[in-house]
Structure 1
């Protein structure tokens, strides 16, 4: 009998996708992003980033929901935390901002909750460079960024809204696996991270 944790996946067609106002990236280039990271580090220390892995299924194969920016760059929904911000609350807020429809505030309407699950991996940026590692290199005493990737358990149905300047794609695990050339080491590692789960494919 397997002791692997069980995760229920629902079909992609259960989810409704809309659009909302564009959310331009804060940094126009990788160099600008690293420069801002360095400026922020000097003020507040190590950056903490949180991202979510949202999994659906199509034809009984897991697919991960990813944002595509400028038709080339893929990323998980999430962003960096404010100094002192709780990582789970922070991830919920970033998911709201990226993926929930804009609704007129109604104090009677229940807030849609995200079910944040297990931490799947932790990545470290040792320097003000693009490289991140799933460990802190031995010679590094002050990493510049820590990124935690969490599994997010989706309900049976949900309405998601994506900024107009982005696309939300369902990328199958077989496409991600061993494909760091296209998706980078963090995203291509997701099939490994999910391999310990038993998936139940609901109809």
Structure 2
């Protein structure tokens, strides 16, 4: 009877672990694999404005009554093959945006933001059950503030000195996804998992705000875990009690080693266009 064994590749020159290099940095962030999350669809959510001009006109009306508009968007991060990926929405196969939206004028910042996230991504009715359905959003650090000085499309990551009454402030927040989460996206949108290397320096495709996300996340060290909660990779220089272990990809008995995730090529993944 033939048997199948797994080939374990080991290096004759194991890496030299650097001394701790994480002073004055935020707490290390744990990222869970994309496969931990469940994705579905819900009813279409049409855009409120048929054109950019109509949206700017509505902004002007809001400003006249309520003052500066407050907009909140979330940078939701998980990992695939030990590389951070950001979840974002794609509308009409062309326009990319982060989950979130402008706050209603009477809402407090964090509570209002959570309501907007739920409108975009929370499952509805009895569509799903089990772990991750009713998980609350954990709103983390403010990563950036973008300012709209006038009733125009341009926004800046600083407030020009001559501007004392900006028309809109958009804040980006880091959102650490829990171990399990169920997300449901409107049928007229796509939910994408975009790797940082696809966003980096890619203003032509994603614009200045989204292409700046790798810079914003560079302040964090990450700890990557697999579906079984085993730490499989860490940012070099990060103190950790865990070291990645050899993955047995096929065959053998369960001897306690981390079997990890099978490294399967994703169709169409090279361009960061996976639809969830």
Q: TM-score, normalised to structure 2's length? A: 0.70
Structure 2 CA distance for aligned equivalents of residues 199 and 67 of structure 1: 24
CA deviations on 1:12-34 (whole Å, 9 max, x unpaired) are: 11111100000001011111111
Structure 2 CA distance for aligned equivalents of residues 128 and 155 of structure 1: 38
Structure 2 CA distance for aligned equivalents of residues 48 and 62 of structure 1: 28
Q: In the alignment, does 2:135 pair up with 1:150?
A: no
The structure richer in helix per residue is 1
Q: In the alignment, does 2:117 pair up with 1:121?
A: no
Which structure has more relative contact order (CA 8 Å, sep 6+)? It is 1
Alignment partner for residue 175 of structure 1, among 198, 219, 229? 198
Structure 1 unpaired stretches of 5+: 105-109
Q: How many residues align?
A: 198
Q: CA RMSD in A?
A: 1.2
CA deviations on 1:123-181 (whole Å, 9 max, x unpaired) are: 10000111100111111111000011100111111110000000000000011011111
The structure richer in strand per residue is 1
TM superposition shift of 1:103: 2.2
Aligned partner of 2:122 in structure 1 is 100
Aligned partner of 1:197 in structure 2 is 220
Name segments (4+ residues, structure 1) moved above 4 Å. Answer: none
Alignment partner for residue 132 of structure 1, among 152, 155, 163? 155
Aligned partner of 2:59 in structure 1 is 37
| SS of structure 2 residue aligned to 1:129 | coil
| SS of structure 1 residue aligned to 2:86 | strand
> Who wins on radius of gyration, i.e. which is larger?
2
CA deviations on 1:78-135 (whole Å, 9 max, x unpaired) are: 011112421111111111110010025xxxxx95311110000011000011110011
Aligned partner of 1:79 in structure 2 is 101
